[in-house]
Structures are given as C-alpha cells and as structure tokens.
C-alpha cells in the first residue's frame, strides 16, 4: 500500500455508539468511510437497556460520579480518564439530545434512574429499557443523511494495513465474498465487545474480539484482558446472545434457588440476592456447578398480575421460551457481558501504533479500572469517540511516544473454512477455565487446550482464539482477586499488583501506576 495523503479518508470500523458518533464528528474534517459488518447499527449498543450515566441532577456532583467510578474500579482506574468521562458526561447527554435521542422525561425534565453502586440518580434512559435502540436509531439516521460519509455495510474488517510503523489502510471482505483494500489517513477500530469468547454471553454475534485482534496483529499494545464482567442473571435458555433478567427482578423480591430448591444467597452475602454483581455471579456459577443444573429465579410468591405489569420485557422474553415469569422457576446463568480490556489507548483513542485509533468497548483506556460501573460503558464510548474525532483533525505530532519496543505486524491466518467446531471449543474452554472463578490449575488446562486448537479456520474464530489465549495468560498473570477478576486460589487483592497489564507482541508489560503517568502520554515500562 502506497504512502497515504491528507485526501485519503478516515476509515471507521463499526456502527455502534462509538463508531457512529466518531464518523459523524470526524466528517467535519474530511472524508470518512464507515465499514460495518452487518446492517448499520447492529451491535451491543442496540441492546443496551439501563442507560448512560451523567451527573446532571441538582443533588449530584461530578466529584461523586468520579468517586463511585473509582470505587468500582478497585484500584486500577486511570484517574485522569475517570475525571474526563465524568466531567464530559453532561455535555454528551446534551449532544445526544441535539442529535435527536429522545431520552425519557417527566414534567419536562430528564428522568434519571439510580443503579447499583451509583450514589445518586444519574442514568438517562430512552423508551424505558430501550435506551440503546433509541441511540442507534438517531445516529444511524444521521449517518444515512450525511453525504460526507461513505457507508460500507456488510463488510468485515480483516486486517489493518501497516507501512513504516504506521496504519495506512484496511483490508476487508464484502458480503459478496469480494475483498477490498483501502488507503486511509487513519483507521479507527470501534468493533465492540468480546463476549463470544464464552459459551454464555449477552453480547450480539459480532462481539468476537475483532478490534483487539486486528490491533494486536498490527503491532499495537493490548491491555486489561483478564478483566471480563459477567452479568449474574442471563436467561439460561436458547443460544447466545442470552437475554438479560435485570437486577430489578431481584430488587422486587425474586429469590435465587439451586436445583434442589434451596435459597442460597443469604449464606453468601448480607444483602443476599442484592449483593454486588460479581458476588452473585460467582455464587450462581458455583451452585449450578455443584448440582450440575442451572439456578433459577423464583417470583411465585408475588402477585402474578403485578409481576407481569412491572416486567413486561422480561416476561415476554420468558414467554418466547414457554416460561411464565410469575408462575415458573426461571433458569438463569452468569454470562460474559462486558470486556474491560482491549487495545490500549489514551483518552483520544490513540493506540500505540501511529495512525490507529480504538474507541468504545474494544478500547482499554483505564477509565473502568478493574470493574466497570453500570452505565459508564455508553458514556466512555461517547466521550472517547468525540475526543478521537478531535484528535483526527490535529497533526500527527501529538501522537504520544512510548518506551515500548516496536512490534512488527503479523498477517492474519489464511481462512480455510468453517470454524464452528473450533469456536465452540474456544467458548467451552474459556467458560470452564477462564470464567467467573479462576485458579492456576484451570487456567493452565485452558491455556493448553487453546494452544492445541488450530488457526486458519474462519477470521472471527481466529480472532477469538488469539484473544482467548491472551486472556487466559492475563488471568494467570494476575495472581490476586480484584474487580471483575476472581482467583479462587488468590481470593484477596494484593496491593503490589495494583497495576494494569498490557500485552505487546504476545508478551506481558506492566503499566506504571496511573498517577505516575504524565498527561496524555502513554509512558510504559517493560516488566
């Protein structure tokens, strides 16, 4: 690929909140091509229910939002990144309103929900529990109406093209089986999550860790891969993506029972079913494994009419599988929900490879620390997309220099066909050995099993295999329990390990504690 020019487009990969917002904002500075695998707007954003956090209530403060985010992050947050997302929250809500997102209102004011681990009501939502669908509808309409943005729908990104240590283009595969290579002034990965590393996930089918895999092969650093959030209660019927049975169902009195009918949460946590998400997820996984059958939620002691009126969405999801939310025991399971890790970036989305950006869930900024605070996912994606769009309009001179060695790009394996069996093996192995609860023996077994699986089936499976292997290695490297990462053999946090782990060319690199980092610079040191 020849040297790029200022007239070359910015190529954005993905059309969730991060990619869509970035494309819309970057179009002010020059041509944009948006490549997206399925239909426009497909992705996790579309499925987001709760909403987006922002300190806009008169009784709330930015400082409180920062404090709650830091507390959830369990010592791994980059405080500057946390401040930035919390300070920018109110402006992002206003910007989305201006783009036509009809957040719910009461008496002319935005309605704010209060969610677990937030000390104030600060979550804006739309259409009740259809927040993501409303955001996607508004942004997709704006994308289609913008003549400066070239939409390449049904195209899958396969490889970031690198020349002389810089990202200069993207290779893709169209739905019609035709390959394309485009030059780019910059490439922005906004490919979402990695939930399909696991056999049980709430993520849409496209969440196959493509962004981190493409960035890693291009030579960029990855980070925080061991930090996978599991939602405690997904509906344990049917294929992934599994539907969410929201926390509110437990909040209204739903109790968890093991396969023998015993209510177990009062023995696990003083708050029983309303304990922290990770505690509930681990207890459910343990009790399901012990009896070899899924745990259930029981609402049979409540008034059926009220249950159906309060939870119409969950009731409809259950009904689709022949279950009555009010009268049946509803099988639930933890499920991979949010990947904290991804391509290591600063707060303008710059990866460690010049010309390559990552925004949204596929980026690892340090804003979530070891555990994401509920509803900070959409917020971080919006803040990062806006900041990256601004950075794209600036000169390359601002690219942060790192002390990391340059890593040569590696081409992805040649696809040889259907990777269905390999993919299922990756997902089962990850679920068993690198899941809700980990230990050295299980992690070593998982690593061996993943190493033995063949590469070169289909591109998504190759990406899952690559990131699965690194995730298993990252989980083995963190010999402590912190945030979303729980080691049964090291159940406590170790203050000496309060550092993020990055991966460069497949090798671990410890990042210095966040406060030591200079403004914006990705100053890294070899472990």
Catalytic residues: 277
Among 10, 12, 17, 332, indicate the residue that binds ligand FAD (CB under 6 A).
17
Helix 459-477, helix 440-452: angle, nearest 10: 150
465 binds ligand FAD (CB under 6 A): no
Count the site residues for ligand FAD by CB under 6 A: 42
Q: Partners of 121 in the beta sheet?
A: none
d(CA 211, CA 274): 34
Longest dimension (CA), the chain: 69
| Residue whose CB is less far from ligand FAD, 378 or 475 | 378
**Of the ranges 8-16, 246-254, 321-329, 446-454, which one interacts with ligand FAD (CB under 6 A)?**
8-16
| Residue whose CB is less far from ligand FAD, 206 or 354 | 206
Task: Identify residues 56-85 at the interface with ligand FAD (CB under 6 A).
Answer: none
Phi, psi of 185 (to 5 degrees): -65, -35
At 204, list the tokens: 């849409």
d(CA 359, CA 380): 9
Least gap, CB of 254 to ligand FAD (angstroms): 19
Least gap, CB of 365 to ligand FAD (angstroms): 12
d(CA 152, CA 35): 5
Among 378, 383, 472, 504, indicate the residue that binds ligand FAD (CB under 6 A).
378
**Of the ranges 13-21, 177-185, 327-335, 346-354, which one interacts with ligand FAD (CB under 6 A)?**
13-21
Task: Identify residues 315-344 at the interface with ligand FAD (CB under 6 A).
Answer: 338
Kindly give, in sequence order, each residue whose CB lies less than 8 Å from that of residue 514, ignoring residues fewer than 6 positions away.
Answer: 76, 77, 78, 79, 80, 81, 366, 500
313 binds ligand FAD (CB under 6 A): no
Least gap, CB of 447 to ligand FAD (angstroms): 25
**Of the ranges 4-12, 256-264, 287-295, 374-382, which one interacts with ligand FAD (CB under 6 A)?**
374-382
| Residue whose CB is less far from ligand FAD, 362 or 472 | 362
240 binds ligand FAD (CB under 6 A): no
CA distances from 253 to 281, 303, 313 (A): 17, 11, 17
447 binds ligand FAD (CB under 6 A): no
Among 30, 31, 38, 127, indicate the residue that binds ligand FAD (CB under 6 A).
38
Task: Identify residues 113-152 at the interface with ligand FAD (CB under 6 A).
Answer: 131-132
Least gap, CB of 380 to ligand FAD (angstroms): 8
Q: Where are the alpha helices (DSSP H) in 181-336?
A: 210-218, 247-251, 277-291, 304-310, 312-319
d(CA 324, CA 367): 40
Kindly give, in sequence order, each residue whose CB lies less than 8 Å from that of residue 306, ignoring residues fewer than 6 positions away.
Answer: none
Among 381, 449, 464, 472, indicate the residue that binds ligand FAD (CB under 6 A).
381
At 514, list the tokens: 């966040």
CA distances from 465 to 47, 203, 447 (A): 25, 17, 11
At 174, list the tokens: 């169209």
| Residue whose CB is less far from ligand FAD, 156 or 438 | 156
| Positions in the binding site for ligand FAD (CB under 6 A) | 13-19, 35-38, 42-45, 47-52, 131-132, 156-157, 190-193, 202-203, 206, 210, 244, 338, 360-361, 375-378, 381
């Amino acid at each position: 690929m020849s040297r790029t020019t200022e007239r070359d487009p910015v190529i954005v990969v993905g059309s969730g909140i991060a990619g869509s917002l970035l494309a819309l904002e970057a179009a002010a500075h020059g041509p944009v091509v948006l490549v997206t695998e399925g239909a426009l707007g497909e992705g996790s954003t579309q499925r987001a229910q709760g909403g987006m956090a922002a300190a806009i209530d008169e009784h709330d403060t930015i400082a409180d939002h920062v404090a709650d985010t830091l507390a959830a992050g369990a010592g791994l947050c980059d405080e500057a990144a946390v401040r930035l997302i919390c300070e920018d929250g109110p402006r992002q809500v206003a910007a989305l309103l201006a783009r036509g997102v009809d957040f719910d209102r009461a008496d002319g004011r935005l309605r704010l929900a209060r969610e677990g681990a937030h000390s104030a009501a600060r979550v804006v939502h739309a259409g009740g529990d259809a927040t993501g669908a409303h955001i996607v509808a508004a942004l997709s309409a704006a994308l289609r109406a913008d003549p400066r943005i070239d939409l390449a729908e049904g195209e899958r990104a396969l490889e970031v093209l690198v020349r002389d240590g810089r990202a200069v283009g993207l290779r893709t595969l169209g739905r019609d089986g035709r390959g394309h290579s485009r030059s780019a002034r910059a490439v922005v990965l906004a490919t979402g999550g990695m939930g399909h590393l696991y056999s049980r996930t709430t993520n849409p089918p496209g969440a196959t860790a493509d962004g981190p895999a493409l960035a890693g092969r291009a030579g960029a650093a990855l980070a925080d891969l061991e930090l996978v959030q599991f939602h405690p209660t997904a509906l344990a019927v049917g294929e992934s993506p599994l539907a969410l049975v929201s926390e509110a169902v437990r909040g209204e009195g739903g109790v968890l029972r093991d396969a023998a009918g015993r209510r177990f949460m009062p023995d696990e946590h003083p708050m029983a079913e309303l304990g922290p998400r990770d505690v509930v997820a681990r207890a459910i996984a343990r009790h399901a494994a012990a009896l070899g059958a899924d745990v259930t939620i029981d609402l049979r002691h409540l008034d059926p009419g009220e249950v159906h009126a309060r939870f119409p969405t969950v009731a409809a999801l259950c009904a689709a599988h022949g279950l009555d939310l009010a009268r049946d025991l509803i099988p639930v399971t933890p499920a991979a929900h949010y990947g904290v890790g991804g391509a290591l970036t600063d707060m303008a989305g710059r990866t460690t490879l010049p010309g390559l950006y990552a925004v949204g869930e596929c980026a690892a900024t340090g804003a979530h620390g070891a555990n994401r605070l509920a509803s900070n996912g959409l917020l971080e994606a919006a803040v990062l997309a806006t900041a990256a769009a601004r950075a794209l309009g600036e000169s390359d001179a601002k690219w942060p220099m790192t002390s990391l060695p340059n890593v040569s790009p590696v081409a992805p394996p040649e696809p040889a066909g259907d990777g269905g069996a390999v993919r299922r093996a990756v997902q089962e192995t990850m679920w068993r050995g690198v899941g809700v609860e980990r230990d050295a023996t299980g992690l070593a077994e998982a690593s061996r099993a993943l190493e033995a699986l063949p590469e070169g089936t289909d591109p998504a499976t190759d990406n899952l295999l690559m990131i699965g292997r690194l995730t298993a290695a990252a989980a083995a490297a963190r010999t402590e329990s912190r945030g979303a990462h729980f080691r049964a053999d090291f159940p406590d946090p170790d203050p000496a390990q309060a550092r993020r782990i990055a991966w460069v060319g497949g090798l671990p690199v410890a990042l210095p504690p966040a406060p030591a980092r200079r403004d914006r610079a990705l100053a890294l040191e070899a472990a």
